[in-house]
């Protein structure tokens, strides 16, 4: 039994659902999950589908070719197809904060995350012992004004060598280069410590304190060229009051950051996220 996951978007058009489901059936596939969404503002159809094939001769590569030449061309589909059992490879970029790191690695260890972590990369050495204790390779790639380009090359090299599918910035305190963003479009997940679009940029907890908000938040989003403006995957919030100092906000925020980031990682790793026009569709 082999299982595929298929993600599609295209202009909305009649019979698109029936055509795709019929195609699967006529190729001896049994659909076990289907969900769809139509963006009526933009007239775009989105679909996520899981299909099982019992035949021992089934080949995902052949099936991809078949799909491409028939349905995908006919309906002008944008699509991605995955072998469902293949775990995506995630690179973790970190700096000095450890709360997201512990949270992710704790889940990874317990089998909660459907992914592999070939390596952790940091511009500092501080958290190497944590990587070591979890027995995950750690690469120290310092970033200074003068070594910026060199660091980026080193990053690209490591990502390629380990066939990384997506990158998670777990409170990585450096701006990621445009080259990296272009190479991993909608594949670099960041956690921003505010309820975006409020408090874009540095020191959001300080700004939240100053504004006297009664709720703070955290936002996980894909990195784009514009700072903190990429497609939002997940957001979380918690109540605060006048009695909370900036330090308190930071501590409460850490709890949000780690939960929100881990949720976003799970959604991405399980291929439940589609991006269109700087917004996400999140399937159940």
Specify the residue, 15 or 146, whose C-beta has the smaller distance to its own copies. 15
Residues 231-260 interacting with its own copies (rule: CB under 8 A): 231-237, 239, 241-243, 245, 251, 254-255, 259
* 109 belongs to the binding site for its own copies (CB under 8 A): yes
Rg (CA), the chain: 21
Contact pattern from residue 18 through residue 47 relative to its own copies, giving x for each residue in contact according to CB under 8 A and a dash for the rest: xx-xx-xx----xxxxxxxxxxxx------
Q: Which residue has the tokens 């939960």?
A: 259
* 271 belongs to the binding site for its own copies (CB under 8 A): no
Q: CA-to-CA distance for 44 and 39, rounded, in angstroms?
A: 5
* 167 belongs to the binding site for its own copies (CB under 8 A): no
Q: CA-to-CA distance for 120 and 89, rounded, in angstroms?
A: 12
What's the residue count for the chain? 284
Q: CA-to-CA distance for 192 and 58, rounded, in angstroms?
A: 43
Kindly provide the residue ranges of all beta strands, DSSP E only, lying in the chain, ordered along the sequence: 2-11, 29-39, 44-53, 78-83, 89-94, 116-122, 138-140, 166-169, 188-192, 215-222, 232-239, 273-276, 279-282
Is residue 228 among the annotated active site residues? yes
* 10 belongs to the binding site for its own copies (CB under 8 A): no
* 147 belongs to the binding site for its own copies (CB under 8 A): no
* 228 belongs to the binding site for its own copies (CB under 8 A): no
Tokens of 132: 């070591």
Specify the residue, 28 or 157, whose C-beta has the smaller distance to its own copies. 28
Nearest to 274 by CA among 4, 80, 82, 86: 80
> To the nearest whole angstrom, how small is the minimum distance from the Cβ of residue 200 to its own copies?
10
**56, 57, 110, 146: which one binds its own copies (CB under 8 A):** 110
Q: Which residue has the tokens 């973790």?
A: 92
Counting residues that bind its own copies (by CB under 8 A) gives: 67
What backbone phi and psi angles, to 5 degrees, belong to 84?
A: -60, -30
> To the nearest whole angstrom, how small is the minimum distance from the Cβ of residue 98 to its own copies?
6
* 225 belongs to the binding site for its own copies (CB under 8 A): no
**76, 145, 163, 214: which one binds its own copies (CB under 8 A):** 214
* 2 belongs to the binding site for its own copies (CB under 8 A): no
Q: Choose the catalytic residue: 12, 35, 98, 228.
A: 228
Specify the residue, 147 or 278, whose C-beta has the smaller distance to its own copies. 278
88's CB contacts (< 8 A; 6+ apart) are 114, 115, 116, 165, 166, 268, 269
Nearest to 20 by CA among 49, 53, 44: 49
Residue by residue, DSSP assigns 4-18 as EEEEEEEE--TTHHH
Which stretches of the chain bind its own copies, using CB under 8 A? 14-15, 17-19, 21-22, 24-25, 30-41, 98-99, 102-103, 105-107, 109-110, 112, 129, 133, 195-199, 211-215, 217, 231-237, 239, 241-243, 245, 251, 254-255, 259, 262, 278-282, 284
Just list the catalytic residues: 228
């Amino acid at each position: 039994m082999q299982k595929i996951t298929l993600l599609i978007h295209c202009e909305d058009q009649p019979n698109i659902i029936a055509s795709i489901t019929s195609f699967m059936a006529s190729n001896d596939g049994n659909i076990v999950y289907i969900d769809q969404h139509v963006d009526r503002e933009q007239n775009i159809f989105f679909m996520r589908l899981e299909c099982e094939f019992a035949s021992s001769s089934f080949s995902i590569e052949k099936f991809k070719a078949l799909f491409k030449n028939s349905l995908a061309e006919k309906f002008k589909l944008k699509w991605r197809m995955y072998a469902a059992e293949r775990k995506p490879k995630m690179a973790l970029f970190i700096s000095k904060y450890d709360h997201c790191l512990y949270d992710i690695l704790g889940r990874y260890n317990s089998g909660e995350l459907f992914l592999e972590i070939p390596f952790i990369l940091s511009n500092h050495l501080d958290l190497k012992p944590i990587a070591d204790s979890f027995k995950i390779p750690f690469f120290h790639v310092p970033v200074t004004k003068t070594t910026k380009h060199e660091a980026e090359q080193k990053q690209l090299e490591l990502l390629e060598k380990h066939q990384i599918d997506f990158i998670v910035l777990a409170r990585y305190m450096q701006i990621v280069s445009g080259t990296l963003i272009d190479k991993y479009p909608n594949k670099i997940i960041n956690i921003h410590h505010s309820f975006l679009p409020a408090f874009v940029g540095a020191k959001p907890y300080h700004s939240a304190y100053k504004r006297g908000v009664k709720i703070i938040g955290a936002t996980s989003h894909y990195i784009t060229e514009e700072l903190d403006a990429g497609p939002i995957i997940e957001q979380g919030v918690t109540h605060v009051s006048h009695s909370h100092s900036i330090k308190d906000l930071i501590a409460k925020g850490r709890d949000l950051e780690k939960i929100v980031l881990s949720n976003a990682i799970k959604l991405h790793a399980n291929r439940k996220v589609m991006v269109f026009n700087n917004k996400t569709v999140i399937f159940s």
